[in-house]
Structure formats: C-alpha cells, structure tokens
Amino acid sequence: MSVTPDPSSLVSAAASGDRRALARLISILEDRREGHDALLPLAFRAAVPSHRIGITGSPGAGKSTLTDGLINIIRAAGEPVAVLAVDPTSPFSGGAVLGDRVRMQDHVLDDGVYIRSMASRGHLGGLSAGAPKALLALETAAFPIVIVETVGVGQDEVEIAAAADTVIVVVTPGWGDGVQAAKAGVLEIGDVFVVNKADRPGADEAVADLRAMLALGTRSDWEPPIIQTVATKGAGIDEVWKAIETHREHLGPDGLDAVRRERRRAELETALVEILRERASAMAKSGGDVVGAVEAGDLDPWTGAGTLAGE
C-alpha cells in the first residue's frame, strides 16, 4: 500500500515526537510487518526506559476510569504519558459505552497524551510477543510514564501487566471479587491494590478480604497498600498516584534495575518462543508422515511432536 520507510528515519521521527511515525512503528513491530527485524534493534538503541505502570482487574472494575484519572494527575504535573490498552472492554481500545468514550475525547487534543489500543487477539506471535514491542516503541518516543491496561483474565494479559515496574490490581466490592482475584493469580503481582466503586456496599469487606489474603502470601519487604476509590468521581485517585510514587521510591535504582533485568530475561524467553513457535508451525504444516498420522488420529499429537522436535 504505502512505501516502506527507511528504518532509521522512522525511528528518528518517532523519537523526535512525530506521532504518526510512532503509530507506524508500533504497527510494524506488533504485527511483524515488513521492516520489523531491522526496526527492533534500532528502536531498542533509541529507547529511554519509562516508568511502566500496569493496571489489571476484571472487566467492568473501572480500570479505564482509573487510568483516565491518573492521566489527569500526570498531565497536571506537566509530564507526557502514554497508554497501551490491551483490554477488550476498555474505552481506550474501543469497547466502551458512550459516556466513557466521550470522556476519553478529552485527551485527543492533548499532544502530551498518547493512547494506543491493542487487540487481544489476532497478532502474529501472540499478544505476549506483540505487547513488549509496542512498549519498546513508546520508550523510543521517550514517554517518561507508560500505563499498560489489561483485563486480568487471560494468562497473557495478566503477564503483560505483571511485567510493569509498578502493578495496580483493581477490584470492586461484592461478587466475591477478592476470591476471583486470588484465583486469577493477580494477588501475587499487585504492588498497589485498588477497591474501586467503594461507594457500593461491601467495600470495607473487600479491603478486609484482600488484606487477609495478602497476609497469607509470602511477600517481599513491600506491603501493598489497599486504596478505596470512586474513580468516576475522582475520589481516591490522588492516593493511588501517591502509592505508585511511593512504590517507585521503595524500589529505588537497585530494585528498578532488578525488575528490569527480570523483564528483559522474560522478553528474551518470549522472543525465543516466538521464533520456535514459527518453526513448530512450519513443521506442523509441512505435511509428512508424522503430521499425516496425527491428523488421521493414528498417532497422538504429543508423541508426534516429540518425533518432529527430534526428541
């Protein structure tokens, strides 16, 4: 369709604040379009590490409204901020009711806010391969703060939020959400817990439930605060932002370095899986006796895979 740009020009343009170039860079990287392989190391060299804030929680917990509130605080402090929304129910990514959508429009004219949505399905290599590349592109554009919003249901989604420097888990009162959060494995990853819609009955119980569950876990020296918010009214958002800053201070340079080393190792593993997955796909599509026998139901897929992998 359009001419493929010179990789270093595209990275330079994205780094110097050209939002269209940034959008293009993200698209090429996350969908592995032409230029992907050349762009990745260039983008990496140009990237400035941002403070990554992950926000996760069940659909309807109010993650987007909280994100919106945080954007306002960050902008009031004069900092640029980017949002990567991989939540299919997020108004940022398009799955909103009208009221939410209208609210998001507030940021459209603000050049200091960049919002990017990412579909949770249909990426070559999967969501877990695409999201780190989109986040890399946002660091190439030197956003000091990046918020990653994911729905805390699928494994990939939870892991993407968990890879942030500071992870916020949002729950709501009632409906046994605390218990659900525990099941989904998000208790382990939360640095800050938010009980949103705290004007509803059961907010104090939700806090108590969370506190009891957190007390059971083996934690590090950081005790995750539990903050009640009514995000639609802006109540409690300041406290959430303060908790994020406190957590970042708690991490310190060494803690942050440890988080980032671990994240890079995980990204290396994901990148390896992506390469090996392609090989697996090519093998499985190659035909041949093993594939034919598995398709026909004469050989079980696991023995077949072992044979193909040369085990």
Residues 2-61 contacting a second copy, CB under 8 A: 37, 40-41, 44-45, 58-59
Q: Which residue has the tokens 């916020």?
A: 168
Which residue from 1, 3, 109, 296 is in contact with a second copy, where contact means CB under 8 A?
296
What gap in Å lies between CA 170 and CA 167, rounded to an integer?
A: 10
Residue 310 carries which side chain, given as an amino acid letter? Answer: G
Which residue from 126, 144, 225, 255 is in contact with a second copy, where contact means CB under 8 A?
126
**Which residue from 221, 266, 216, 236 is spatially nearest to 168, judged by alpha carbons?**
236
Q: Which CB atom, from 96 or from 235, has the smaller least distance to a second copy?
A: 96
| Span of 17-25, 72-80, 236-244, 267-275 interacting with a second copy by CB under 8 A | 267-275
Q: Which CB atom, from 223 or from 306, has the smaller least distance to a second copy?
A: 306
What gap in Å lies between CA 40 and CA 65, rounded to an integer?
A: 32
Residues numbered 200 to 229 that lie near a second copy (CB under 8 A) are none
| Span of 2-10, 163-171, 179-187, 192-200 interacting with a second copy by CB under 8 A | 179-187
Q: Which residues, in sequence order, are CB contacts of 240 under 8 Å at separation 6+?
A: 66, 69, 70, 168, 192, 194, 227, 229
Which residue from 73, 96, 142, 213 is in contact with a second copy, where contact means CB under 8 A?
96
State yes or no: residue 88 binds a second copy (CB under 8 A).
yes
Which residue from 65, 67, 228, 270 is in contact with a second copy, where contact means CB under 8 A?
270
State yes or no: residue 146 binds a second copy (CB under 8 A).
no
What are phi and psi for residue 149, nearest 5 degrees?
A: -110, 120
Q: Which residue has the tokens 């990653």?
A: 148
- How far CA 176 is from CA of 24, 181, 213, in Å, comes to 42, 9, 13
Q: How far, in whole angstroms, is CA 233 from its chain's centroid?
A: 25
Residues numbered 148 to 177 that lie near a second copy (CB under 8 A) are 151, 153-158, 175-176
Query: To the nearest whole angstrom, how small is the minimum distance from the Cβ of residue 158 to a second copy?
Result: 7
What are phi and psi for residue 296, nearest 5 degrees?
A: -75, -10
State yes or no: residue 198 binds a second copy (CB under 8 A).
no
Q: Which CB atom, from 19 or from 101, has the smaller least distance to a second copy?
A: 101
